[in-house]
Amino acid sequence: MVTSRWTAAPARAASPRRRGVVLERAILDAALEQLSEVGWKGLTMEGVAAGAQTGKAAVYRRWPSKEDLVADALAAGLPRVEAAPDLGSVREDLLALCRQVRQIMFSPPGVALRSVIHECDQIQAERFHEVIVGGVVEPTLQLLGEVITRGLERGEVRPDAVNSYVFDAVPAMMMYRSKVCASEWCDRELEEMIDQLMLPLLRPCAG
């Protein structure tokens, strides 16, 4: 099940008297919307303020830099996969999990995250390390580990396949194909990745 804290940006006619958490939510939503539309390099604090229908000073009072603002916006908006699928086979569990990851990657906050990953430089990327690793990579790897370990218990997975290199294969492939090949990961591509890459890695050796 994918849950999301993403909410639609406030209507353009929102009251200028907003303050506190309501105003902060509007600014964070506007930052994600700007990232999805113009990317990391095109995002400005002024543009975010305009999108949130507030003054630039209200943004800078809360976030002194665009890096700080975007890190908080991503942390607040990215959907999460809360539970590992359990559909009775490692193939179906992996497919279901990959579909949920795809949904996150192509959600508005996911598009915003990819613009950050693709466009910001190495120093800027360090600011987003915790958001990317702690909020996306590590939870996904944990769920992959649960799926594969459950497959081991059912006899579908050989013991030496339960390791971090195998767990890395799915997110690494999805990110690489998305970034380098502009893949949108249709169902056929997900099935091919599971059938042609993951299952051969996981299956017990014939003996």
Does 193 score more than 80 pLDDT?
Answer: yes
Domain limits, CATH 1.10.357.10, in the chain? 2-77, 83-202
CATH architecture of 83-202: Orthogonal Bundle (1.10)
Does 196 score more than 90 pLDDT?
Answer: yes
Distance CA 78, CA 43 (A): 18
Give the confidence band of 109 by pLDDT, cuts at 50, 70, 90.
Answer: confident
Three-state DSSP string of 30-77:
HHHHHHHHHHHHHCCHHHHHHHCCCCHHHHHHHCCCHHHHHHHHHHHH
Q: Which tokens is 26 given? A: 């509007």
Q: What is the pTM of this model?
A: 0.79
Q: Please determine, looking at this structure, whether the domain spanning 2-77 carries the CATH number 3.40.50.150.
A: no
Mean pLDDT of all residues in the chain?
87
What is the mean predicted confidence (pLDDT) over 20-39?
92
Q: Which tokens is 162 given? A: 């339960």
**Residue pLDDT, tens place only, 171-180:** 899 888 887 8
- For strands 80-81 and 2-3, give the pairing: antiparallel
**How far, rounded to the nearest angstrom, does the alpha carbon of residue 49 sit from its chain's CA centroid?**
24
Does 103 score more than 50 pLDDT?
Answer: yes
Q: Among 10-19, 42-51, 104-113, which stretch is predicted with the lowest mean pLDDT?
A: 10-19
Are 141 and 80 within 8 A, CB to CB?
A: no
Kindly report each contact of residues 171-176 with a partner whose C-beta sits within 8 Å and lies 24 or more positions away, as own/partner. Answer: 171/101, 171/137, 171/140, 171/141, 171/144, 173/197, 174/98, 174/101, 174/102, 174/105, 175/117
